[in-house]
Amino acid sequence: MVETLQQLLPGFLIPYFNALMQLGHNFFGALWPDILTVVWTVIKVMLIIAPLLLVVAYVTFWERKVIGWMQVRIGPNRVGPWGLIQPIADGLKLMLKEVVIPAGADKSVFLLAPVFAFAPALVAWAVIPFNDVLVVANVNASLLYVMGVTSIGVYGIMLAGWASNSKYAFLGGMRSAAQLISYEVAMGLALVVVLMVSNSLNLGDIVKSQGQGRFAEMGLSFLSWNWLSLLPMFGVYVVSCVAETNRAPFDMAEGESEIVGYHVEYSGMAFAVFQLAEYSAMLMCSTLISLLFLGGWLSPVRFLPDSIFWLFAKIAAFVFFFFWIRATFPRYRYDQIMRLGWKVFIPLCLVWLVIVGCWMMSPWNIWK
Amino acid sequence: MPDIQNYTLNFGPQHPAAHGVLRMVLELDGEVVMRADPHIGLLHRATEKLAETKTWVQSVPYMDRLDYMSMMCNEHAYCMAIERMLGIEVPIRAQYIRVMYDEITRILNHLLWIGAHGLDVGAMTMVLYAFREREDLVDCYEAVSGARMHAAYYRPGGVYRDLPDSMPQYRESKWKSAAEVRKINEVRSGSLLDFLEDFVKRFPKILDEYETLLTDNRIWKQRLVNVGIVSPERAMQLGFTGPMLRGSGIAWDLRKKQPYEVYDRLDFDIPVGVTGDCYDRYLVRVEEMRQSNRIIQQCIDWLRVNPGPVITDNYKVASPPRANMKSNMEELIHHFKLCTEGMHVPEGQVYSAVEHPKGEFGIYAISDGANKPYRLKIRSPGYVHLSAMDELTRGHMIADVVTMVGTIDIVFGEIDR
């Protein structure tokens, strides 16, 4: 870690850095490397979370603008130039508002639920690679880790619905639990196919494996990415992602015209945390789609260099896609969502799993 | 094992899909509705009783506030009731104006309905698109009456005044630049009829736009097809009228079956549904908007070439022209009598109904010869349709309850009166 920093820092800072290291070593003795690791990890975590929260705030702004334009409206334009300070104002307002705890609610669970919803959405970012080297924790089974951690988010929603002591919130929580569990299965099966062809559970390796193939050799690497060879899985995964994040048209856990949602009793910052969770989950899903099916930071054509810019562009495109379908589609009904998940997606995934398996065993295997 | 009991859910009156103040007590088995019990009365303003204390003309603005989404149609039924009791003839130009505004009102109402229905089902963009078009039509209201909603434009014996030669203009402001204002004022530079004709030309394309968003949308169809089916026989037994009845396949429309004003001279069709589900009612209403558009076009063509009086010359009913009042004793007395004690309607009773956007809207009035109604009874279509709520929703899910509220096209002003 010290060596990496020495490489990264500009030349004139290196003597100061070395002096600091020496000072620490003299002061703490043998504990110094451990302290250094902790400090360095915290810094890395902050480097991810702080920009992430800022991005989440501005994703809400962007959503309101984009949907506004789609709906012949202007969108927020009062606070600051072009309304740019709107998310900050919203955040401030929500922070200053009282968190009303309904009579009869289970107070501790009620307050814990937003944390349960939000924390997994942040924790998952630990293993997301932004390019070949930029990743907080480059673990071998990062895909498994992401799957495991993000599924905890459903507890937040379920507990919120249950702890509120409200029938509407309870219905919202139940719907959400059923929905998330069903679509997790379809998502998981789609991911199994991806890891079969990439031969790895590491997100970085999955991205790198997409950079090779016949089309990549021809210079058109975007045709080598998983989205084309695994097109049905790509479709299943994208739709499941929309469902997983409780976004329209699968937003029946929120369903503002029916049951108003699992967070109907929440106010102030506790409510804001649910919103943050929803949007960071949306960013997370867009990132995963980009990494797993669209070659992450890889450039679509050979004459342009690979860069983190491509990853951000792909994420932004998917976030826009999320907004777009929200402005376009009516909401599914509860039983229709379940039917789509269990009777269409899961059988489709299972069949495709077998097909890809056979394909890989055959002489026409393209993923060698 | 303990019994698993159904639970009740209070749906409204503070609910985003309550369309005002609908309160329903739902008995739920999981998400499935076992019984829906609509409660009314939260918007009761005693319009019928108030009318007994006002002269005949003074109640016209109260009619606007019944179904506050189809204002002029309410006025129409009320004015028609008075005219029938008085036995007076409405000038032909006024009849055309009334028909034109009835159809404008129908489009206004159906636009709000398509927006609200979309919003209920989750297609939130619809409501904003619909309001963009409503804006132009309420401008027509404003041009003719000065009010964008509660017009009080129809009067016993005709309409308040003739169509204006100019439209209200947008002015430059902090929010609208000069160039923008010039652009939106372009269609407003001519007379009301020019403006309306421009709208009528644009509107079919706009409806196509709505339909691309909804009609063949998989999710929209999944949510509406085979939801809330009412058989033709049952629809009649329940007293359905308007699009609710026509959605079930019965071609009953007062404009055709009991033509009033000049509907018998106009060319238009009555759309009917086949299965009687929410989707059919959706299609019927969309088609009704297209037909209304046709009617408006025919009215515009007629009104352009046929000037004439727009209110009866019976000065016992309507005020004489202002100029005559200044120079003529007789006219002055008429005006004084009308403005103080109002008109006297001969003894008798009458039921007059119009094809209101929501169904048959009727006024049953009894007069004892005084200057006030002895009794006024309002037959509002929404009240009848709401009473079928239980039958419509039973066995469906909570999300369908919201669809049903949308398909009935509930406005509480007329239900509670």
pLDDT tens string B351-398: 999 999 998 999 999 999 888 999 999 999 989 999 898 888 888 888
Largest Cα separation within chain A, whole Å, is: 66
DSSP state of B348: E
> Taking CB atoms and an 8 Å limit, are B402 and A334 in contact across chains?
no
Among left, alpha and beta (phi > 0; psi -120 to 50; other), residue A335 is: alpha
What per-residue confidence (pLDDT) applies to B80?
92
Q: What torsion do the CA atoms of B188, B193, B196, B200 make, to the nearest 10 degrees?
A: -130
Task: Convert the pLDDT of each residue in B63-89 to its tens digit.
Answer: 988 888 888 999 999 999 999 999 898
Three-state DSSP class for residue A208: helix
Task: Convert the pLDDT of each residue in A185-227 to its tens digit.
Answer: 888 888 888 888 888 888 888 888 887 777 777 777 778 788 8
Alpha-carbon separation of residue B320 from A93, B125, B330 (angstroms): 60, 49, 10
Cis peptide bond prior to A249, omega within 30° of 0: yes
A11 vs chain B: nearest CA distance in angstroms? 54
Task: Say if residue B121's pLDDT is above 80.
Answer: yes
What per-residue confidence (pLDDT) applies to A26?
82
Q: Which residues of B touch A69 (CB under 8 A)?
A: none
Most confident residue range from A42-51, A246-255, B293-302:
B293-302
Beta bridge partners of B376: B365
Q: Report phi then psi at B314, rounded to 5.
A: -80, 105
Tell whether A258 lies on the interface with B, counting CB pairs under 8 A. Answer: yes
What per-residue confidence (pLDDT) applies to A181?
83
What per-residue confidence (pLDDT) applies to B168?
85
Task: Say if residue B18's pLDDT is above 80.
Answer: no
Cβ atoms of B157 and B69 within 8 Å: the answer is no
Mean pLDDT of A126-138: 81
> Taking CB atoms and an 8 Å limit, are B223 and A70 in contact across chains?
no
Mean pLDDT of B99-106: 92
Q: Using CB atoms, pick whichever of A171, A256, A327 lies closest to residue B125.
A: A327
User: Which residues, numbered 331 to 360 in chain A, qualify as contacts with chain B under a Cβ-Cβ cut-off of 8 Å?
Assistant: 331-336
The whole-chain average pLDDT of chain B stands at 89
Mean pLDDT of A171-194: 86
Task: Say if residue A184's pLDDT is above 90.
Answer: no
Q: How many C-beta neighbours within 10 Å does residue A115 have?
A: 14
CA distance A47 to A39: 12
Q: Which two tokens stand for residue A256?
A: 């503002």
Who wins on pLDDT, A188 or B18? A188
* Most A-contacting residue of B7, B29, B124, B403 (CB-CB within 10 A), to test interface: B124
B31 Cβ contact list (under 8 Å, min separation 6) = A171, A175, A334, A335, B397, B398, B399
B120 vs chain A: nearest CA distance in angstroms? 5
Mean pLDDT of B307-325: 87
* Most A-contacting residue of B120, B222, B278 (CB-CB within 10 A), to test interface: B222
Q: Which residue of chain A comes nearest to B18, CA vs CA? A: A257
What per-residue confidence (pLDDT) applies to A264?
86
> Taking CB atoms and an 8 Å limit, are A333 and B400 in contact across chains?
yes
What per-residue confidence (pLDDT) applies to A316?
92
Mean pLDDT of A94-105: 88
> Taking CB atoms and an 8 Å limit, are B121 and A331 in contact across chains?
yes
Task: Say if residue A254's pLDDT is above 80.
Answer: no
> Taking CB atoms and an 8 Å limit, are A72 and B128 in contact across chains?
yes
B207 vs chain A: nearest CA distance in angstroms? 16
Three-state DSSP class for residue B60: helix
Cβ atoms of A251 and A216 within 8 Å: the answer is no
Q: Which residue of chain A comes nearest to B116, CA vs CA? A: A257
Q: Which residues of A touch B217 (CB under 8 A)?
A: 329-330
Q: Using CB atoms, pick whichever of A255, A258, A328 lies closest to residue B125.
A: A328
Tell whether B45 lies on the interface with A, counting CB pairs under 8 A. Answer: no
Three-state DSSP class for residue A4: helix
Asked which of A6-20, A47-61, A143-157, B398-412 is least confident by mean pLDDT, the reply is A6-20
> Taking CB atoms and an 8 Å limit, are A330 and B219 in contact across chains?
yes
- Angle formed at CA A188 by CA A184 and CA A191, multiple of 5 degrees: 140
Three-state DSSP class for residue B39: strand
- Nearest one of A276, A186, A171, A198 to A233, comparing CA atoms: A186
Q: Which two tokens stand for residue B1?
A: 């094992």
* Most B-contacting residue of A64, A254, A329 (CB-CB within 10 A), to test interface: A329
Asked which of A138-142, A158-162, A337-341 is least confident by mean pLDDT, the reply is A138-142
Tell whether B25 lies on the interface with A, counting CB pairs under 8 A. Answer: no
* Most A-contacting residue of B219, B404, B405 (CB-CB within 10 A), to test interface: B219
A333 vs chain B: nearest CA distance in angstroms? 6
Tell whether A314 lies on the interface with B, counting CB pairs under 8 A. Answer: no
Tell whether A15 lies on the interface with B, counting CB pairs under 8 A. Answer: no
Q: Which residues of A touch B15 (CB under 8 A)?
A: 260
Q: Which two tokens stand for residue A361?
A: 């065993």
Task: Say if residue B286's pLDDT is above 90.
Answer: yes
Tell whether B141 lies on the interface with A, counting CB pairs under 8 A. Answer: no
The whole-chain average pLDDT of chain A stands at 85
Q: Which residues of A touch B402 (CB under 8 A)?
A: 257-258
Cβ atoms of A24 and A17 within 8 Å: the answer is no
Beta bridge partners of B116: none
Mean pLDDT of B16-25: 83
> Taking CB atoms and an 8 Å limit, are A167 and B397 in contact across chains?
no
Mean pLDDT of B338-349: 89
Cβ atoms of B211 and B290 within 8 Å: the answer is no
Mean pLDDT of B116-122: 88
> Taking CB atoms and an 8 Å limit, are A70 and B125 in contact across chains?
yes
Residue that is written with structure tokens 């179904």 in the block: B67
What per-residue confidence (pLDDT) applies to B1?
59
Tell whether A330 lies on the interface with B, counting CB pairs under 8 A. Answer: yes
What per-residue confidence (pLDDT) applies to A21?
80
Q: Which two tokens stand for residue A11?
A: 């030349």
> Taking CB atoms and an 8 Å limit, are B7 and A167 in contact across chains?
yes
What per-residue confidence (pLDDT) applies to B2?
67
Tell whether A323 lies on the interface with B, counting CB pairs under 8 A. Answer: no
Q: Which residue of chain B comes nearest to A70, CA vs CA? A: B125
- For residue B370, the number of C-alpha atoms closer than 13 Å in the C-beta half-sphere is 12
> Taking CB atoms and an 8 Å limit, are A260 and B16 in contact across chains?
yes
Which helix (H) or strand (E) segment holds residue B361: the answer is strand B359-367
Three-state DSSP class for residue A341: helix
